[in-house]
Amino acid sequence: MTKAYSAAELSALFKGVSGSLMVQGTTSDAGKSTLVAGLGRLMARYGVNVAPFKPQNMALNSAVTVDGGEIGRAQALQAVACNLAPHTDFNPVLLKPSSDTGAQVIIQGKALTTLEAKSFFGPDSVGYKQMALNVVLDSFTRLKQQYSVVVIEGAGSPAEINLRQGDIANMGFAEAADCPVIIIADIDKGGVFAHLVGTLALLSPSEQARVKGFVINRFRGDISLLQSGIDWLEDYTQKPVLGVLPYLHDLHLDAEDALIDSPNLPVSHTQKLHVLVLVFPRISNHTDFDPLRLHPQIDFKYVSMADSHKAFPKADLIILPGSKNVRADLAFMREQGWDEALKSHLRYGGKVIGICGGYQMLGQVIADPDGIEDEAGESTGLGLLDISTTLTANKTLTQVTGTLSLNQQQADFSGYEIHCGVTEFSPLIPQSNKQPIQIQSSQQYDGQVSDDNQILGSYIHGLFDQPQACQLLLQWAGLADASEIDIDQIRQQQLDRLADTLETHMDLAKLTGIISS
């Protein structure tokens, strides 16, 4: 059982703490991202100058940083937990899969061009992993100089034998950076002691010595029934269990990559809006829709390939999300018959929103002459908006603020753009009153609304995050009495809830000792 700390004891524990700590997991989704976010919020609460770090991430959910780059969504959340603006040094290597065998490589926030990629992967290079390790250590060194504590998240499991050579994401980094490691395991998956002991056994002797303790995650039930197993584990490994964290029901935090179903929330209004989000194979930044998942007036559903044999669900609003491979995902959409379902939905008066890649799909043509996302070529769009898009090597990465105008109403918003496409309007179509979004920094306009007011497209991610903008969009979609939802406030509340849990269920005296050792 862990000790209950007073506020004064916690302040004393965290006073002067300095160093680094790496959180590795026995499996993917063991709780690494969540634990790093919770530790960041807990330390920041007690005045520690703390920052998050993930050497290498593979994810399609990303965020634009304050220095104009791109990092994984989980690291952006961890930055929020630490009361920091997201920075490219928090995730210096990001891999964004564009097919089953290919991925866009993003180094310190910037996507490599074809020429740059050759220097990383070509025959004249010293090898991608060594060069990537140099980049990772460069960012980590800067963070150590700026922050008292750096909390590091591993990737997957350190015991993946086929990935051990040249590893920069787990023990390879920990050894190079000389930082202590704790390992977290998810008891809800079953076999938690085998996971922990097996992971430890597959590490080298020096790596085993680097592991300073364990955390058991998502426990339900009577902790006394687990104690004999904990005692055995500590005796067998000679390493402490630093905490047993309870299963936190309805913990609403930005997902790194996995799609999260809509929670069972109480309905507080009689009117509901039925919203569908189409799940493409390369769907990106689906965290855009977290405010809709959590909205008490919205019946929210994801529609995936597994649903293709079923009748299309009832919907008031269908959303086409972002995509890392727009032309391939457009072809997939047609294979499922979703293009015809979308047109039927519009014939019956439904509304459609396309975000980023989904916006591009709604147009006339998507051209990729240089093979930026896949094989070079051109695809015919859905033909629902008067736009045409050409994919280019130069990626737009920018945080934006502006004004959304719909149905003669306006709302301020803040969000970000992250895309390769350059979109042009048909020269034969007047654009007055058809672009709903004014971007303040550039005095430019974004997006398009169809003549019949049923379709809206935009490059802006995060439009639903601002309460007034979300409310205006829902009213446009047909929810006349839409209430406001503040996803930023929810995020802060959930991070505080997570920190409270760590205060109660972790041995923070041992943990701070490990960090400062």
Contact indicator for 352, 455 with CB cutoff of 8 Å: yes
Instruction: Give how many domains the chain has, as a whole number.
Output: 2
DSSP line for 436-479: -EEETTTTEEE-EE-TTS-EEEES-BTTTTSHHHHHHHHHHHT-
* 40 within some domain: yes
184 plus 281 within the same structural domain? no
229-244, pLDDT tens digit by residue?
999 999 999 999 999 9
Among 94, 3, 79, smallest CA distance to 44 is for: 79
114 plus 171 within the same structural domain? yes
Please give the residue that has the higher pLDDT: either 3 or 367. Answer: 367
- pLDDT score, position 302: 94
Question: Quick count: other Cβ atoms within 10 Å of Cβ 11?
Answer: 13
Question: Quick count: other Cβ atoms within 10 Å of Cβ 130?
Answer: 12
Contact indicator for 289, 300 with CB cutoff of 8 Å: yes
* 3 within some domain: no
Question: Quick count: other Cβ atoms within 10 Å of Cβ 10?
Answer: 17
Mean pLDDT, range 397-404, rounded to an integer: 93
Contact indicator for 300, 271 with CB cutoff of 8 Å: no
CA distances from 42 to 13, 25, 186 (A): 12, 20, 21
Contact indicator for 180, 20 with CB cutoff of 8 Å: yes
501 plus 459 within the same structural domain? no
Q: Which distant-in-sequence residues (6+ apart) come within 8 Å of 170 by Cβ?
A: 24, 154, 155, 156, 157, 158
* pLDDT beyond 50 at 432: no
- Coil, helix or strand at residue 155: coil
Q: Cα–chain-centroid distance for residue 181?
A: 23
285-311, pLDDT tens digit by residue?
999 999 999 999 999 999 988 777 777
Q: Catalytic positions, please?
A: 356, 461
Buried b (16+ CB within 10 A) or exposed e, 340-363: ebbeebbeeebbbbbbbbbbbbbb
- Of 47-56, 57-66, 309-318, which one has max mean pLDDT? 47-56
283 plus 233 within the same structural domain? no
**pLDDT grade for 439, boundaries at 50, 70 and 90:** confident
* 311 within some domain: yes
* Structure-block tokens of residue 492: 């802060």
Contact indicator for 243, 2 with CB cutoff of 8 Å: yes
For 343, which DSSP code?
Answer: H
Among 21, 48, 46, 19, smallest CA distance to 35 is for: 21
The CA distance from 287 to 293, in Å, is 10
For residue 334, which amino acid is it? Answer: R
Q: Which of 52-56, 327-331, 358-362, 373-377 is least confident? A: 373-377
- pLDDT score, position 117: 54
377-395, pLDDT tens digit by residue?
999 999 999 999 999 988 8
CATH number at residue 280: 3.40.50.880
- pLDDT score, position 121: 54
CA distances from 92 to 23, 69, 141 (A): 17, 10, 12
217 plus 305 within the same structural domain? no
- pLDDT score, position 246: 96
For residue 71, which amino acid is it? Answer: I
326 plus 199 within the same structural domain? no
Say what the alpha-carbon torsion angle 27, 31, 35, 36 is, to the nearest 10 degrees.
60
- pLDDT score, position 13: 92
Among 456, 434, 284, smallest CA distance to 353 is for: 456
Among 389, 338, 334, 335, smallest CA distance to 365 is for: 389
* 223 within some domain: yes
DSSP line for 140-154: HHHHHHH-SEEEEE-
301 plus 212 within the same structural domain? no
Please give the residue that has the higher pLDDT: either 113 or 74. Answer: 74
400 plus 462 within the same structural domain? yes
CATH number at residue 37: 3.40.50.300
386 plus 448 within the same structural domain? yes
Terminal-residue alpha carbon distance, the chain: 23
What residues pair up with 391 in beta bridges, in sequence order? 421
* Structure-block tokens of residue 106: 């993003």
- pLDDT score, position 388: 95
* 31 within some domain: yes
Contact indicator for 506, 215 with CB cutoff of 8 Å: yes
234 plus 277 within the same structural domain? no
Share of the chain above pLDDT 90, in %: 75
Instruction: Return the H-helix or E-strand segment holding 491.
Output: helix 487-505
Please give the residue that has the higher pLDDT: either 255 or 494. Answer: 494
* 155 within some domain: yes
* 192 within some domain: yes
437 plus 290 within the same structural domain? yes
* pLDDT beyond 70 at 265: no
* Structural domain of 218: 19-252+493-509
Among 300, 293, 297, smallest CA distance to 271 is for: 297
70-103, pLDDT tens digit by residue?
999 999 999 999 999 999 999 999 988 877 667 7
CA distances from 24 to 30, 167, 211, 446 (A): 9, 13, 9, 41
The CA distance from 285 to 326, in Å, is 13
* pLDDT beyond 60 at 1: no
The CA distance from 196 to 187, in Å, is 10
* 11 within some domain: no
The CA distance from 238 to 215, in Å, is 14
- pLDDT score, position 123: 56
Q: To which residue do tokens 């654009």 refer?
A: 431
67 plus 139 within the same structural domain? yes
**pLDDT grade for 115, boundaries at 50, 70 and 90:** very low
CA distances from 202 to 171, 196, 205, 208 (A): 11, 10, 9, 9
